Amino acid sequence: MDHYHTFIGIDIGKNNFVVAVYDKKETHEYANTSEGIVQFLEDYHPHFKNAICILETTGGYETALLYDLCSKKIPVHRADTRKVKNFIRSYGNKAKTDILDAKALAHYGKERKDHITLFDPQSKQSRDLFTLVQRRNDLKQILVAEKNRHQSPSSTTIKPSVDRMLQFLQLEIKTITDQIKALMDSDSNLKKKQEVLTTVPGIGEITSAELLVLLPELGSLNSRKIASLAGLAPKANDSGQFKGYRRVAPGRCGIKPCLFMAAMAARNSSSHLKTFYENLIARGKKKMVALAVLMRKILVIANARLKAYQSPSQLPLQHA
């Protein structure tokens, strides 16, 4: 990335975004609307030559600007918020404003230019699938809460209301599931990948769709990196003679619940993964620890099979 000479940091909020260029004092603020984005692209057009834009994930408020930059062939990096915060802290900066954050993002791009990756825009179909999967997961959480209310000893008065909500939520989840299936079936590549993933014990049609949508890197990374993305790679906690308990990072949102359900299904199957789980229990592993290990095992197998499918020169696909 040595050919980038200009680093543009963009701090994005719900209503506005602030733009700063590395080593420049002036900053500009724009409305986070289509008109504001057009104005920004016009104003900063002279800066875009040999430039890269750096912005953070902000719950979707960055999406419109992100895809507009990509449509204009302007390189853009969507930074990990945690890494940017740690970068800012390393300089001892405690103050926080939109202007300071924009300048920090530009500085982060300058310092990390040899290690950051460009954002790879997904197709509209992929974006629609992501939105539907997220919506279904949100509704499933509400469904669990309503089921808990239904079982409450003091729920007699509200049970009719809860019953109506349960009926509605179940119908809505089914409708969205059908939409996801239709979109998956309309893409031959995604459909084939789904068929590959469902050869792994515990992974069904729904889980495979969620993995492909929420973890698009599946099949393109090695086992350690894909486990780290999912939050299933224990991190060392050692210092000198001290050997600390290794914990896992949270991982990308939505992946662990998906793999947990797959692990529960695999544990109850008649496959080799059930034997793998039972051997862990026999060796003294707690059930939740054994399930976490099984989740990683399922993910690694899925990653390897998808990689084999995408690279035919590798080992042939085998059904478990």
Task: Quote the pTM value.
Answer: 0.70
> What does the pLDDT read at residue 185?
92
pLDDT digits (tens, 9 = 90+) for 196-252: 999 999 999 999 999 998 888 899 889 988 998 888 876 555 556 555 555 666 667
Q: Where exactly are the structural domains of the chain?
A: 6-111, 123-186, 188-320
Please give the angle made by the CA atoms of 316, 317 and 320, to the nearest 5 degrees: 135
- Percentage, residues of the chain above pLDDT 90: 59
- Cα–Cα distance list, 122 to 93, 199, 221 (Å): 35, 26, 18
pLDDT at residue number 317: 47
| Distance between CA atoms of residues 40 and 20, nearest Å | 11
Mean pLDDT, rounded, of the chain: 88
CATH of 6-111, one of 3.90.190.20, 3.30.420.40, 3.40.50.300, 3.40.50.2000: 3.30.420.40
Contact 130, 214 (CB under 8 A): yes
Q: Look at residue 299 in the predicted model and tell me its pLDDT.
A: 96
Tens digits of per-residue pLDDT, 112-157? 988 888 887 777 788 889 889 989 999 999 999 999 998 887 778 8
Cα–Cα distances in angstroms (integers) from residue 179 to residues 60, 219, 312, in the given order: 21, 25, 31
Q: How confident is the model at residue 318 (pLDDT cuts 50, 70, 90)?
A: very low
Please name the residue that has the structure tokens 């515990």. Answer: 202
